[in-house]
Amino acid sequence: MSTLFISDLHLTGERQVITDLFIDFLKKRASHADALYILGDLFEVWPGDDMIQPDYMDSITAMKNLTDSGIPIYIMRGNRDFLMAAQFAEVSGASLIEDPTVINLYGSPTLLMHGDTLCSDDVDYQKFRQMVRNPSWQAEFLALPKEERIAMTTKYREVSKEEMSKKNMDIMDVNQTTVESVMQEHNIQQLIHGHTHRPAVHDFSLNNKKMKRIVLGDWFEQGSVLECDVAGCQLESI
């Protein structure tokens, strides 16, 4: 048996092929796993649990079928779907986990993150993140009429795309000093995250200890999955 990790699917009705790939993944590969972890940005947008998009229901039903069969799904909120809450957890059967979270992965303490907080060089984004993660801001946003929430979400997506097109790619990647600080803070030697859409395994040394940072790929071009068991972890395409 093994544990599977995926991230950054950005499910949307505009890319049905990715939704179909995810549902097939749940029915086949994930059904033989010990557990499935989704480390953020499962959905492209999430304006609130009271506004679950019809295009998402097939995926949510497939997740519920998997959890009902006894395979747990753990979901970390990303920068696109950070408003997922209790109602989503109930209908999907998934358990929401905090960012960051430390797990025991077959004897190896492992830190799980979405990864956006590691991109500390992107100062403008970090300020925006701090704003929208504030409980007061979220309460005010969720109290708005549904039409207004949709309009604001659409605007944020458009602004985000425009700003990303102007930024240096290095700014939107992780800061190594921040990575090392976070790993030291949690006293771990292995980190798994997504967000940057740059799948890779990074080995480095810190204070004479071997460290490993595994970056999950996105699902824009193909499915990226990390499979871990007692022998170690393998990052691959589906």
Measured torsion, CA atoms of residues 12, 220, 22, 125, in degrees rounded to the nearest 10: -60
Number of domains the chain is built from: 1
As a whole number of angstroms, the distance between CA 55 and CA 43 comes to 10
Q: Pick from 50, 118, 106, 97: which is nearest to 226 by CA? A: 106
**Of all helices (H) and strands (E), which one includes residue 151?**
helix 146-166
DSSP at 171 = G
As a whole number of angstroms, the distance between CA 196 and CA 78 comes to 12
Terminal CA-CA length for the chain: 17
Q: Residue 177's CB: how many other CB atoms inside 10 A? A: 10
3-state SS assignment for residue 62: helix
Q: Pick from 167, 178, 27: which is nearest to 117 by CA? A: 178
| Beta pairing partners, 104 | 109
Sequential pLDDT tens for the chain (238 residues):
899 999 999 999 999 999 999 999 999 999 999 999 999 999 999 999 999 999 999 999 999 999 999 999 999 999 999 999 999 999 999 999 999 999 999 999 999 999 999 999 999 999 999 999 999 999 999 999 999 999 999 898 888 878 777 777 778 899 999 999 999 999 999 999 999 999 999 999 999 999 999 999 999 876 799 999 999 999 998 8
CATH number, domain of 178, equals 3.60.21.10
Both tokens of 60, joined, read 């949510």
As a whole number of angstroms, the distance between CA 6 and CA 219 comes to 9
Q: What's the pLDDT at 222?
A: 67
Conformation bin of residue 187: beta by default, left when phi > 0, alpha when psi is -120 to 50: left
Q: What's the pLDDT at 171?
A: 82
Q: Which domain holds residue 231?
A: 3-237
The string over 179-198, giving b where at least 16 C-beta atoms fall within 10 Å of a residue's C-beta and e elsewhere, is bbebbeebebbbbbbbbbbb
Residue 148 near residue 156, CB atoms below 8 Å: no
Give the CA count within 13 Å in the CB-facing half-sphere of 130.
7
Please state the pTM of the whole predicted model. Answer: 0.96
Helices 135-142 and 123-132 cross at an angle (nearest 10°) of 60
Long-range contacts: 136-142, Cβ < 8 Å, 24+?
138/83, 141/48, 141/83, 142/48, 142/50, 142/83
Residue 36 near residue 238, CB atoms below 8 Å: no
